[in-house]
Structure 1
Amino acid sequence: MTPEAPEELHVKNCISCSGEIPPLKGADLDRLHIQIPEWSIEDEHHLSRKWSFKNFIEALDFVNQVAVIAEAEGHHPDISFSWGWVEIRIFTHKLDGLTESDFILAAKIQRVTEEDGECR
């Protein structure tokens, strides 16, 4: 019998945080990070990633796509952008650290660039 593969993060939904669980650390972060290796884990506190775009309109379009995902998931990243770039930071504000929902949101955002067919 083979072990069941873990459910892919992008098909899961973010779960509302009550603030009663501790943030993820160490091996728990590593286990989830495998599915979104393009993202960086910063100080076991937040996920971050930066994208480059050809112009301001493309960057803004990407931000708007991320906003739709964030609203649907009820989990909102910190987004910075300007001409030709977007940077996203994700963490669970209520815990001031990372939860599985942060990785789920990152995986869903990642799919936007994969579906576009462009590496950003």
Structure 2
Amino acid sequence: MSWTEENGSLVRTFKTPDFLTAYHLVGAVVGPAEGLNHHPDIAFGWGYVRIALTTHDANGITDLDHQLARLIDDAVKPFGL
């Protein structure tokens, strides 16, 4: 599944095999987010991680959100998702 637009945010939900994988996937997102100083909304639990990106100052999706989405996609490749 790829990123979709929902209510002014870029959203992607990753399916994971268990809670520990979801937790580690969230950890993989921290570096890219800190590097851009652009922080996603993240929800996770057993079997899923949901990430939403929006630029609050712009009240919607900007190039920064698309850039972070690409970095997140790269960061989660080792998980095979």
TM-score normalised by length of structure 1: 0.63
Shift of 1:67: 1.2
Whichever residue aligns with residue 76 of structure 1, its letter is: H
More strand by share: 2
Whichever residue aligns with residue 111 of structure 1, its letter is: D
Shift of 1:117: 6.0
Identity of aligned residues (%): 35
Alpha-carbon distance in 1 for matches of 2:79, 2:26 = 17
Residues 1:102 and 2:80 are matched in the alignment: no
Shift of 1:113: 2.6
Regions of 4+ moved over 3 Å: none
Whichever residue aligns with residue 11 of structure 2, its letter is: S
Whether contact under 8 Å (2:22, 2:49) holds in the other structure is yes
Whether contact under 8 Å (2:25, 2:79) holds in the other structure is no
Q: Give ranges in structure 1 of 5+ residues lacking alignment.
A: 1-36
TM-score normalised by length of structure 2: 0.91
Alpha-carbon distance in 2 for matches of 1:117, 1:55 = 12
Deviations 1:6-52 (A, max 9, x none): xxxxxxxxxxxxxxxxxxxxxxxxxxxxxxx8100124x11000001
SS of equivalent to 2:58:
coil
More helix by share: 2
Whichever residue aligns with residue 2 of structure 2, its letter is: E
The RMSD of aligned alpha carbons is 1.5
Number of aligned pairs? 81
